[in-house]
Amino acid sequence: MGKQRYTSQIKEQKKPPQLEPNEAEVTNLSETEFRTLVIRMFKELREDIKKDVEIITNELRENIKKDVEIITNNQLELKNTITEIKNSLEGITSRLDEAEDRISDLEDKVAEITQTEQQKEKRIKNNEDGLRDLWDNIKRNNMRIIGIPEGEESKQGIQNIFEVIMSENFPNLMKETNIQVQEVQRVPTRINPNRSTPRHIIVKMAKLKDKERILKAARKRRRVTYKGTPIRLSNDFSTETLKARREWQEILKVMENKGLQPRLLYPARLSFKVDGEIKTFQEKNKLKVFITTKPALQEILKGLL
251: domain CATH number is 3.30.250.20
Instruction: Assess whether 259 and 297 both reside in one domain.
Output: yes
The pLDDT of residue 46 is 82
Contact between 42 and 116 under an 8 Å Cβ cutoff? The reply is: no
Question: For residue 269, what are the domain limits?
Answer: 241-301
Into how many domains does the chain fold? Answer: 3
pLDDT in tens, 102-151: 898 888 888 888 888 888 888 888 888 888 889 888 999 999 999 999 88
133/146 same-domain check: no
**Residue 254, SS3 per DSSP:** helix
Does a structural domain hold residue 22?
A: no
Residue 66 forms part of a structural domain? yes
Q: What is the pLDDT, as a whole number, of residue 36?
A: 86
Report the share of the chain in percent with pLDDT over 90.
35
Alpha helices in the chain (DSSP H): 2-13, 23-28, 31-77, 82-138, 152-156, 158-169, 171-176, 208-221, 239-246, 249-257, 284-290, 295-300
Of 248, 250, 301, nearest in space to 274 by CA: 301
pLDDT tier at 259 (50, 70, 90 boundaries)? confident
Q: Is residue 19 in some structural domain? A: no
Tell me: do 123 and 165 sit in the same domain: no
pTM of this structure: 0.52
By CB neighbour count within 10 A (0-12 exposed, 13-18 middle, 19+ buried), where does 249 fall? exposed
Average pLDDT for the chain: 84
Angle in degrees, 0-180, between the axes of helices 82-138 and 239-246, rounded to the nearest 10:
100
Predicted confidence at residue 74, as pLDDT, reads 65
Cα dist. 168→224, 228, 288 in Å? 9, 9, 42
pLDDT at residue 2 in the model: 46
Query: Are 132 and 144 found together in one domain?
Result: no
Q: Does some domain include residue 103?
A: yes
Instruction: Give CA–CA dist 252/247, Å, rounded.
Output: 9
Q: Which tens digits make up the pLDDT trace of 81-99?
A: 787 888 888 888 888 888 8
- Rounded-to-integer distance, Cα 126 and Cα 46, Å: 18
Q: Could you tell me if 133 and 193 lie in one domain?
A: no
Q: Are residues 55 and 117 in the same domain?
A: yes
pLDDT category of residue 195 using cuts at 50, 70 and 90: low
Residue where a domain stops, chosen among 105, 137, 169:
137
